[in-house]
Structures are given as structure tokens and as C-alpha cells.
Structure 1
Amino acid sequence: MFRHQVLWRSFSLFRRTPTSAIVKSAAKDGHNATRIQRVRITQRFFTKSRMVGTAVVAVGAWRLFVWLDEEVEDEEEVSAQVRRVRRPPIRQDDAEDDKGGREITDEEEEELEDDEEEEEDDEGLIFLPTGFSRPRPRRFYRGSDPEWQTFIRLAPDRKRMEKIREELITTVRDLATKNAHIKMHLGKIDTTKGKVWIEVKFPDGPPLEYEQPGIELTEDLTIRKTTRPVHEMHHKRLARVLMPTGVMNSVYYDMKRRMFASWQDFKRYTGLEETRPTAQSVIKGLPLPPAVPVSPTQTPSAPNTPAAPASADTEKQVTSPLPPSPSNSALEKLGLSLPGPEQVPTMDLSYFRQIFRKYHKHMAIEPPRGTFIVSGLVEIIGDRAKMTLDVMSLYDPNVGKYVLLQARVRSITPYKQRPRGGP
């Protein structure tokens, strides 16, 4: 009777014997006291098998990276040999006395680089990205670039520059006359009147390019590290999805507003701040207006009209309580319960949209290669008001037209302004 009772228990968390069953079993066998001792079996962290596996994986990963570096070095050596073979022959006039060679000009070097890029652009069989897209080093125009030469020829030409400005002004005002929303505010628009301020800016280089690193399997079944070009819009959209600053600011200010309102209610409840009468309480305190007297010529309405039961039914439907939300039996078994739809706090969407418009930044697109920026302010004159537009456009001199046009309302000034506070 005084012998200890030994109960073997499994170490599984799902098939563990409950404590009540152990106590009942001990009491059945005549034991007055039951001691339950929990045992935890631990193993050494640095075991022999774990150390051997870690060493094998580390050596294999190191050999893989060394092999990839050797592949890249071999490709660089092959490209250097191709560059030496493709060099133009040396003329006798350009040969130097002691070296017997000459320097390669910038144009020849660019041609060689273009040929190398065309060879390297051969897509492999499989491309596995190893990270997010990233910007490439920014490049600037050289004096020998055709785009820069076009800018040099175009800048001193005053007549053509004036024609480009006039084309932008005419296009903006014509679009304003076709917009029904603008015509509703301004009235009849005169396209010959209005002040303008236009400036031209030539970019220092082509737009910033983006690339995505990865590992590529070539047709020769060799693995190499390479990069793939990524469109500018794709890169900026992914960055906006991963870091939504506009949404985060909107949620933050909405939570801040709610917490401030809760704090004010707490101060009024505790008496730290006096309650101020609101507009609704003032309106409720006002006396009701007198009833309108009924003239003798008007016939009183019948007490039993067919519309009366319908109105009563509608009132009953409106005042009837909402049906209870269906309960989830699975959650009730676990002791969990979800709040009903009327208990869930809702967000003020109008305030959320207002903050989102304030902090939402449009994606700025850099001018494509060969284009320049034409921006400024254009004033539009109407019968009832005038409006100023902030205009930004891109002009391509090779095509001879605008490839992009964006306009934003800067201000609207009506000719007759009435006091909003009343007479």
C-alpha cells in the first residue's frame, strides 16, 4: 500500500493523459497522495551528426561560390580576347615609333561595348532571381552623343523654341475647352487670353535604368551570375507595394484622431474638462415650432386610410431589432468568440481618403532618352473665373511632337466671391 505508483505517460502533446485520470487511478489503487513529476529530456546541441552535416553543407556552398566566380572570370577573359581581335587595324601613319600602337577613340570603344552587349544579351534557358530590382549606376551624356548634339543645335534656335512653347500653350487650352468640368467652373473660355510662364530644361543624361540580379542557366548548361533589365514602372510599383507610405500615414492619423477623441471623452467623464454643448444638444433643447392651423375649407383626412397600415408596418420594420449574427460552434468549443459586425470599429473613410490624397505621391517618370522637359504655368481665362495650371511635358525633337503631357490645377479664382459666413 505504501509503494509508489508508477504511471508511464507518453511524451506526445496531443495524446497526453489528463491529470484527472491519473488522480482517479491513484485513488482507486488506495493511494491518498499523488505526486506528479514532469521530466524534460534534453540533448546536446553540438552532436557528432549535426557537426558533420554542417561541415558538409558549408564546404559545398563554398565550392559552389568559387566555381561561379571562376565562370565569371573566364567570361571576362574571353570578352577581353574578343575585344583585342576586333580592334581595327593600325595604320602606318598612326603607329608610334617605340610602341607601334595607337589609342582607341571613344567612338570605337563604344562600338566595341555595344557589340559585347549584343552578345551578352542572349537569353539563357532559366533565370532565377536572387533579389529585388536595383538601380544601375547613373550615366550622363557625353559631348559626342547624338542626343547632346541635338540639344546643342536646338537650344540657340529661338524660332523653333518659341514654336515649341506655343504648341504646348495651344494644346493645353484646347484640352481645357473640351473638358466639361472646367467649363462648368470657368464658363466660356477665351484661348487667346491669359498669362504664361514656360521654361525648357535639357536633362544631363538618359533615364535611370534598373536591373534584377540572378543566376542563369545557359544553353551550354553552365550556370552564371547575370542581371536582367527591369522597367522603371515595375520597380516603382513594387517599391510602393512593399512600402505603402500613403496608406501607413492615413492609418496612423486616423488612429491618432480616434485616440484623441477617446482621451477627450475620458477627461469629460472624470470631470477634468467641462462638457461643451454640441450643435445636436442645442437643437434638441429648442422648443418645437407651432402647429400649422387647418383652414375650414380643407377636409380632414380620413382616420382609416389604406396607407396607414403600410406606414405602421414600415415603422415596425425599422424599429425591429436586427437578427443575431450566426454563431460558430467550432469557435465556441475552443472558448473563442468573434465580435459582431455592429461591434467592430469602423474607419472614417472620408478622413482616410483626405489624408491619403495628401501623402500619396505620384510616380515621377524620368524623361526618355533624347527628350527634354518643357514645364511652366498656363493661365486660362473664362467668363466666370480664371484658372492656373501647372504643366509638365516631354518633347521629342526627333519626332517633332510631345510624347507626354501632365497638367495639375494650381488655383481657381472666381471673379465674384460671396461671403461664406452669410450676409
Structure 2
Amino acid sequence: MFRLFRSRPNIMSLGRRVNGISLSHTPSPEIIRLQRVKVRRKWFKPMNFVIAGGIYYGCYRVYMSTIFGTLNQWLDESEAQLSEKERKELEEDIEPFFIPLPFTTKQVEPLPYRGSDPEWQTFIKISKNPTLLRDIESKLATICRMALEAHPGVMHKYGKDPKVVKYMIDIVFPSKPPPTFVRKGFAPPPFSPMSPRKLTCSRIAIDEEGISIEEHPVSSLDVFRVRRILWPSALAMSLWSFTGALMRQNATAAAKALGYEPKQQPTMTMQQTMERIHQQLQKPQPKTDSKAPSSLPSTKSQVFQGSSADPTSPGAPASTGSSPAGVGGPLPAAPNAAAGKQKSAREIYGVKMAQEHTNGPWRAFKQRLVQTWRPLRDYPPRGSISVSGVVELDTPRARITVEAFAWWDPKTQKFDGRSLVLRWRSIRPKTQNPLR
């Protein structure tokens, strides 16, 4: 029935369809036209921001009412059941937490001691006790002697069993305590079970009073450790020496590969030694008397003449039929070499080549690290006494003078090991030989 509504074909166009005649304005189906269209969307739509904000706020309110509302209700019920004694114990057990802020650490110079301070009163008591002062001086000299005994290189070169000959030590009472360090951070107000609490959607628990940024003291040793980690000057200088030595070595190797031989230094002790050994090996050996009884062959002759030895002799190894005796024969395997043993990392060819290639730069790295590395020093405790001077020790082959600087803590009656500094001042050998 719907065929009646179809459009009838034009009678004038039947001839063009049959004969293939096309008008000039009719486009050819073989021509394809491409047009590039850049679609730009409007990036700012206020309605999208309004809808997203409404959705986030709704999720926030649902989360607060379901999670934190239940916790607040449970805490209120638990507080109502606590007695006064339990509340006091809870106040004592709870420790306030502190979240430090980075790069807020600063050094604070303390004020000088007052005459009424307990540290100053302790200084007065110690100054009036000459026996204790002499005991402090002798303890510092003993520490220098023990440090010298613990040095294997000095003991091996100048002899063991050092003895304290004399010492000159000064004891100084400081007028102010050592500096301190403080840093800022987040700290909640003091907790009280009687005050109402309310948990909020934050990473830190906050009371109704809010949260504050306070300054808390920090250990000076921790500050020095963080500084060394953030600014590793000794490691950076050592890596610079390693890189420089490696680059020079690679440049020298590349120059040799291109045919350029750098001039060698005229004074090279190792080269002169090798040339001397080579000349000694080239000298003709003296002839031995033929009438003298022949001794057993040396190890060197056995090694070089083992391939041409008589196979019938009991000391010669039996040769296989597949390989003839001579220079081309296989080398004997080591007696302790286990067949099928897995090679270690050091025996791999690539690892060995890398070790040989980086041997010189690694030596430069270690030498620079030893020169620049210094152990961490800490400030002494508050109320410590400065003890410094020179200690002379006697060994079987030298007189050694050591400079010492330490802090003596009256509370522990000991020297503070973190702030102890010992330096070599002089080493005087008892018998000195000329260098030439």
C-alpha cells in the first residue's frame, strides 16, 4: 500500500542515466573533498561547578553524620561512665602529639647563667674542690691514652704500652649554656576529659578550641643528622673526585686508542722498579758445575718444562691419546677446582673488567672521603664544664702529643662522648734516620 506514496522518477533524467551524459554542474563521484574542523568546547561552565560543589557537600554531610556523629555519641557515653579518679589517670596517661613543619628549625642563643641557677651553684662547689679538679684532669689524660692504644697504626709503628708523661689541662666554667634548637609544628590544645570534644574531618584531631602552631625544642644531634642528610658535602666531593678520575682515565684510554701516547713522568718509582727487575731477569745465569750432584728441579723449571717431560717417569702425568704432549696440550686443572661449581659474581668476566676499570677512581673516592668525612659532633648537656689541654704520652719509639677538648657533665660525673675531640699535635721519634 505504501508503494503509492513513493516519488516517481523524472522522465527527463532517464536519457542521462542510460547514455552516461552528465551536466557540468554535477560533481564527479571520484572527487573527494576533505575539510578539517576544529571543535572547541567551552571550558568554563558555571553550572558544572555548582553541581559538583553540591554533590561534594552532600557526600561530606553524609560522611560526617554517619561516621563522626556515631563516634561523638560513643565518646560522650563513655565519658559519662568514667569516675573522677579514672579521668585524672586518663589526663596523666595521654601524651600530647606534635607534628613538625619542615624547614622551620632555628637555633636559639640562650641567656647567661644567673647566680641563683642550680648550674652556677654546682660550678661554685666544684671550683672549691681541688681533689675533684685533679681527678677530672687525670680522667681526660686516661682517655687520651686509651684512644692512642686503640689506634693500630700508631701502636704498630711506635710501639705499644703508651704512658702518660705529663699534661697541661685547663678547666673553664662557661658563663652560659650551649645553644638549643626549636622547630614549629601543629599541636592541639591540652586535653581535658571534662571539656566537650568534637571530631572534624581533618587529618589531625581538633578540639572546639581549635589547633595551634607552637615551637617545641628538638635535639641538636637530630638537627645535625638531618643537615648531613640534606647537604652531604663529603659524599658530593667524593663523588666529584670519582667522576673526575673516571673521566681522565677514559680520556687517556681513548687517546691511546687513537694513537696518541701521553708523555710519561720521568720520575716514576714503580716503573723504575719494573725496569730493574726486567734487567735482572735478562742477565745470564752462572753455569753450575757438572760434577756436582744434580739437585731436584726447581718449581719454575717444572712449570715451564712440564709439557716436554718424559711421560714414562713416575712424576709426569699420563697424557691422553687425543691430545699430543707439547705446547698445544691442555693445561692441567687446579686440584681444588670442583667440576660444575657455579661461578661467583667476582669470577664473572664483566664484573672483573668493571672492577679493574673503576679501581683507580674508587681509590680516589675513598681517599677524598677520608679527607672530608668528619664524625657528627653534638652540643654538650646543660651545665657541663669545659676541659681542654695537651697530653704528652711516651711510647718505646716516640713521644706523642695529643690535644684534647671535652665537656664534663656534673650530673653523670662523666665526660660527654659526643662532644669529645682529640687531635694529633706532634709525633717526635726517639731515633730518626735520614730519608736519603
Q: TM-score range by the shorter chain?
A: 0.5 to 0.7
Alignment correspondent of 2:71: none
Tell me which amino acid in the other structure corresponds to 1:3. I
1:234-284: CA deviations, max 9, x gaps? 222122112111110001122223334455666775769645677559639
**CA distance, structure 2, for counterparts of residue 260 and residue 50 of structure 1:** 62
**CA distance, structure 1, for counterparts of residue 51 and residue 363 of structure 2:** 59
Tell me, yes or no, if structure 1 residue 415 matches structure 2 residue 419. no
Percent identical: 24
| Residue from 248, 251, 254 that aligns with 2:239 | 251
Superposition deviation, residue 377 in structure 1 = 1.9
Tell me, yes or no, if structure 1 residue 241 matches structure 2 residue 241. no
**CA distance, structure 2, for counterparts of residue 239 and residue 197 of structure 1:** 36
Alignment correspondent of 2:32: 4
**CA distance, structure 1, for counterparts of residue 101 and residue 390 of structure 2:** 45
| Structure 2 gaps, min length 5 | 1-28, 55-90, 192-196, 198-205, 303-308, 320-329, 338-342
Q: 1:172 to 1:225 in 2, by over 3 A?
A: same
Q: 1:170 to 1:254 in 2, by over 3 A?
A: closer
| Residue from 267, 285, 303 that aligns with 2:310 | 303
Give the TM-score taking structure 1 as reference length: 0.56
**CA distance, structure 2, for counterparts of residue 244 and residue 178 of structure 1:** 28
Q: 1:52 to 1:386 in 2, by over 3 A?
A: farther
Would the aligned equivalents of 1:133 and 1:230 in 2 still touch at CA under 8 Å?
Answer: no
Tell me, yes or no, if structure 1 residue 366 matches structure 2 residue 379. yes
Tell me, yes or no, if structure 1 residue 207 matches structure 2 residue 173. no
Tell me, yes or no, if structure 1 residue 312 matches structure 2 residue 283. no
Task: Tell me the C-alpha RMSD between the 2 structures.
Answer: 4.8
Alignment correspondent of 2:358: 346
**CA distance, structure 2, for counterparts of residue 409 and residue 293 of structure 1:** 57
3-state SS, counterpart of residue 163 of structure 2? coil
**CA distance, structure 2, for counterparts of residue 341 and residue 174 of structure 1:** 42
Alignment correspondent of 2:24: none
Q: Could you say which structure has the larger radius of gyration? A: 2
Alignment of 1:113-192 (within 5 A): 123-124=95-96, 127-132=98-103, 134-143=105-114, 144-155=116-127, 160-173=132-145, 176=148, 183-187=155-159, 189=161, 191=163
Would the aligned equivalents of 1:367 and 1:373 in 2 still touch at CA under 8 Å?
Answer: no
**CA distance, structure 2, for counterparts of residue 308 and residue 392 of structure 1:** 73
| Structure 1 gaps, min length 5 | 7-34, 57-118, 318-322, 326-339
Tell me which amino acid in the other structure corresponds to 1:236. F
Would the aligned equivalents of 1:130 and 1:215 in 2 still touch at CA under 8 Å?
Answer: yes
3-state SS, counterpart of residue 206 of structure 1? coil
**CA distance, structure 2, for counterparts of residue 270 and residue 47 of structure 1:** 71
Superposition deviation, residue 137 in structure 1 = 2.0
1:342-399: CA deviations, max 9, x gaps? 6766363332121112111222211101111212221111221122222222212355
Aligned length: 308
**CA distance, structure 2, for counterparts of residue 407 and residue 398 of structure 1:** 23
Q: 1:383 to 1:232 in 2, by over 3 A?
A: same
Tell me which amino acid in the other structure corresponds to 1:395. W
Tell me, yes or no, if structure 1 residue 290 matches structure 2 residue 258. no
